[in-house]
Amino acid sequence: MTRSFYITGGWGYGNRGDNAIFEGMRQSFKEHFPSARLTITSYSTVEMKEQHDISAIKSVHRLLGKRSPLGLFRWLGVILWRISGLRLLLVPSLRRHRALMKDASAVVMGGGGYFNDAWPDMLRSRYVEIDLARSVGTPIVIYGQTVGPFSQQTIQKSLKRYLGYVSRIAYRDAQSLKVLEAAGVPATRRVLSADEANLLAVRPAVMARRPGRLLIGVMAQKFRPHLGPSGPSDPGSIPDEQTYIQRIAEALLSLADAHPEIDYVFIPSTRWDEPVVAEVARRVSDALAERVTMVNDPDAHHFISLCQNVDLMISTNMHPVILAATASVPSIAISYHYKLDDYMAAVGQGDAIVRIDDFNSESLGKDLRRVFDARLQGAEVLRARCKVIRVMAGKNISTVVELLEKDRHDF
């Protein structure tokens, strides 16, 4: 019997970390269901072709989103369909999604950090996907998510309802478990897993090194307040983005002064953060010239390879840290979110975290030198910890396998 799967997630938005998640998902489906047909949805079908060389269809979020000229008209059809149950009230593009779900063995929502109410437009579209799958009786699996943060009102009014329709949900941190418990998701439907990007094998280097040099990867996102499990953390010492950029640049220069053998490669993880990464690179390059490389708009393969083939990673974003860890490369996190804090602790790097909005050049430079000097010991810790993390990441596809092996599905 040839299986088919309907796969949706947080890709197509210009986030290369989510593209790395997709690569991990695609790999695990090939291993467990080699002959399966995969229907991939994406916010940007062009991005999927450019990044992964595959064809995708426009996601439900793309069809219903605020930027879609017909979004409000499509939403009207959704509302009338929800009230009446008449599928003909759905526009043809949404009926197509429903038909593809009906033919699928399971609807799988990829992991990441998009399942929250910080982006209500996206969350409402995820609810529509759940409604469509439920209407045709196809089980729904949500892969390793950072679930939340959610307002208490959202948990009570909508999250509890919609997660009640999900067959299995994999979560990737302790705070997510608290949200799921508050939403009433029973233990039989939830499983602790890890990000699918942890499953990716180390890829060959795509960037040539200068002979005898060590390479440090850098990713810096836009300045923002640090987000803790309960919401924004108390204000830090950094007042604005220019101060933030300058402090990072000065810390990188201090590391370069202490270690003349290192070069820097600046690796943008998201398209919207590229100007900030480029500005930090420019300030460092003014002093170090040929020791600095700025990578512009890498595709998924190049991004993954670059993150895996450095000697140390310095990142504000989660996936450069995850990808470095797959190659036993230590990181220092300039963290904006508790999910990154939790991951760093899980892989034995809990002492290599600074808050994105609360550091100075001297303290960050000191931390960089400490982590750099201890990188070989850090690599040994990562090798041991990441074996456990990979097993946890494998639980995502295992939830699908186990679900399909049962004669009956528990909705």
Q: Are residues 173 and 274 in the same domain?
A: no
Q: Are residues 222 and 331 in the same domain?
A: yes
Q: Are residues 164 and 238 in the same domain?
A: no
Domain count, the chain: 2
The helix (H) or strand (E) run that includes residue 20 is helix 16-32
Residue 230: the pLDDT is 79
Residue the block writes with tokens 């079908």: 45
**CB 92: neighbour CB atoms within 10 A?**
8
Q: Are residues 156 and 24 in the same domain?
A: yes
State whether residue 98 is helix, strand or coil. helix
8 A C-beta contact, residue 215 and residue 372: no
pTM as predicted: 0.95
Residue 290: the pLDDT is 94
Q: Looking at residue 251, which CATH number applies to its domain?
A: 3.40.50.2000
CA dist., res. 305 & res. 317, Å (int): 16
In a domain, 43, yes or no: yes
One-character DSSP codes across 303-363 = HHHHHHSSSEEEESSHHHHHHHHHTT--EEEEESBHHHHHHHHHTT-TTSEEETTB--HHH
Residue 161: the pLDDT is 95
In a domain, 201, yes or no: no
For 317, phi then psi, to 5°, come to -105, 160
The domain in which residue 160 lies consists of: 4-193+394-405
8 A C-beta contact, residue 213 and residue 263: yes
203-218 core/surface letters (b: 16 or more CB in 10 A; e: else): beebeeeeeeeebbbb
Q: Are residues 67 and 114 in the same domain?
A: yes
In one-letter notation, the amino acid at residue 234 is D
pLDDT tens by residue, the chain, 411 residues: 689 999 999 999 999 999 999 999 999 999 999 999 999 999 999 999 999 999 999 999 999 998 899 999 999 999 999 999 999 999 999 999 999 999 999 999 999 999 998 889 999 999 999 999 999 999 999 999 999 989 889 998 999 999 999 999 999 998 999 999 999 999 999 999 999 999 999 999 999 999 999 999 999 999 999 998 878 899 999 999 999 999 999 999 999 999 999 999 999 999 999 999 999 999 999 999 999 999 999 999 999 999 999 999 999 999 999 999 999 999 999 999 999 999 999 999 999 999 999 999 999 999 999 999 999 999 999 999 999 999 999 999 999 999 998 744 444
In a domain, 116, yes or no: yes
Q: Are residues 188 and 70 in the same domain?
A: yes
Residue 2: the pLDDT is 82
Residue 229: the pLDDT is 84
Q: How do 214-219 and 312-315 pair as beta strands?
A: parallel
